[in-house]
Amino acid sequence: MPAVQAKSISCPNCGGPVALRGFAHTLSVVCPQCMTVLDASTPEVQILQTFQGKTRTQPTIPLGSRGKIGDTQFEVIGFQIRQVDSGEDTYQWDEYLLFNPYRGFRYLTEYNGHWNFVNVESALPEPSRSAGKLAMRFGGKTYLSFDSMTASTVYVLGEFPWRVSVGDSIACQDFVAPPSMLSSESTSGEITWSRAEYMPGSQIWQTFKLPGSPPPAYGIFANQPSPYGGSVGSAWRTWLWLNVALAGLAFLFMIISPGHVAFSDHYAYSQNVRSDAAFVTPTFQLDGRDSNVDLSIHTDLENNWAYFSFALINDQTGQTFDFAREVSYYHDSDGSEGSRNNSVIIPSVPSGQYYLRVEPEMAAGSPDVRYELELRRNVPNYGFFGLAALLLLIPPVLTTFRKGSFEAARWRESDYAPSSSSSGGDD
């Protein structure tokens, strides 16, 4: 925008100079010295309202600041504070009036560090319903009803293309489709529709070259884009592909770890035999890489238990894997408990010649038990795949939960808050 000299008038209240940057569009202007609202539509410049407030507010973006939003340079020419008093809660937001001689007026709003660039629309949205709520269709998007309120102007500064005055009241209704928001402002017999786009504070600071850094945004704003918006679908798609890879890995190990039987034999244990219960099996060969060994115990127990102490011993090196398993099986007319079988996986057993030391135990007076021991080398341990599948669920579930929490926090501020009686909201 070329450097245009602002027109200047004198304030009839205090005599101070008042700059007019909006040219013929300006209908009212506030004297920066005495804060009197002046009628700038006629050369006589009459007083519309004198300042009754106690404090003056300095806008975050000073009047006269210029910055480029999109491909248009705007100048800040007006500022007002609007307030909603819902009875239970009072809150305010700032509105900046931006002007470009060729593009006209735009607005910037700020609430708790959340900024929106607002454009007044000439087309009307089409009422509809979506997700059980009143909605508006506009520009190919559906905006969900968010909240409605009555807002009053409590502070003005600069110039405006309407006759502004402190105490002006409007009925507002917001519809959201993040990062956009559609708002209606109703005064007597007139409804204005505007569309807002959410802007990060850092962009505002950069645009208007403001000193320092923007204060952090507090809370979640009505049309604030969710940081998890696109990531939930992406997380579940990634989860799906990783599960396909996991299934492929399981299939691979099903082929390369067939679990061939290295040793198998049948035994019986009787407490009537006076000899030592412990015995050793014949030696057997465990081949291949360091891998696991699965020992299965199959018994014919009836309402009894048996306990087996095992030692898998390398015949050459003496390396011993010491472990034990209990088998118990009880049943009656009400059902059964336990199992006649049990198994154990011995990890990372090197190849070599091995034998098993077995020592069965049972309760005194127990009947004989017959059992089979089967030892298989290199068996797939599907528990790892199950655990991996569970751990793979964490990121998408967490992302989904966080997105849900974000949306719940957004809608808690709306008229549709699940357990709120408040009709207030943000903006």
Residue (93 or 239) nearer to another protein, CB:
239
Secondary structure of residue 82 in the 3-state scheme: strand
The least CB distance from residue 375 to another protein, in Å, is 13
Secondary structure of residue 240 in the 3-state scheme: helix
Half-sphere exposure of 284 (CA within 13 A, CB side): 19
**Closest among 95, 91, 122 to 107, alpha carbons compared:** 95
Question: Residues interacting with another protein, by CB under 8 A?
Answer: 231, 234-235, 238-239, 242, 245-246, 249, 253, 257, 276, 278-280, 289-293, 303, 305, 307, 309-311, 313, 315, 318-324, 326, 330, 332, 337, 344-349, 355, 357, 359, 361, 363, 378, 380-381, 383-385, 387-388, 391-392, 395-396, 398-399
Angle at Cα 325 formed by Cα 321 and Cα 329, nearest 5°?
165
The least CB distance from residue 326 to another protein, in Å, is 8
Amino acid making up residue 5: Q
**Token pair belonging to 101:** 């001689």
Q: Residue 296 and residue 294: Cα distance in Å, rounded? A: 6
The least CB distance from residue 328 to another protein, in Å, is 9
The least CB distance from residue 374 to another protein, in Å, is 16
Q: Residue 232 and residue 237: Cα distance in Å, rounded? A: 9
Q: Residue 324 and residue 347: Cα distance in Å, rounded? A: 14
Q: Is-cis flag, bond preceding 200, omega within 30? A: no
Residue (270 or 348) nearer to another protein, CB:
348
CB distance 201 to 217 below 8 Å: yes
The least CB distance from residue 285 to another protein, in Å, is 16
The least CB distance from residue 412 to another protein, in Å, is 25
The least CB distance from residue 384 to another protein, in Å, is 5
Q: Residue 407 and residue 400: Cα distance in Å, rounded? A: 11
**At a CB cut-off of 8 Å and minimum separation 6, what does 300 contact?**
340, 369, 370, 371
Residue (47 or 344) nearer to another protein, CB:
344
Sign of the four-CA dihedral 141, 142, 145, 146: negative
Q: Residue 416 and residue 102: Cα distance in Å, rounded? A: 40
Residue (223 or 291) nearer to another protein, CB:
291
Residue (217 or 345) nearer to another protein, CB:
345
Residue (267 or 385) nearer to another protein, CB:
385
| 215 bridge partner residues | none
The least CB distance from residue 337 to another protein, in Å, is 7
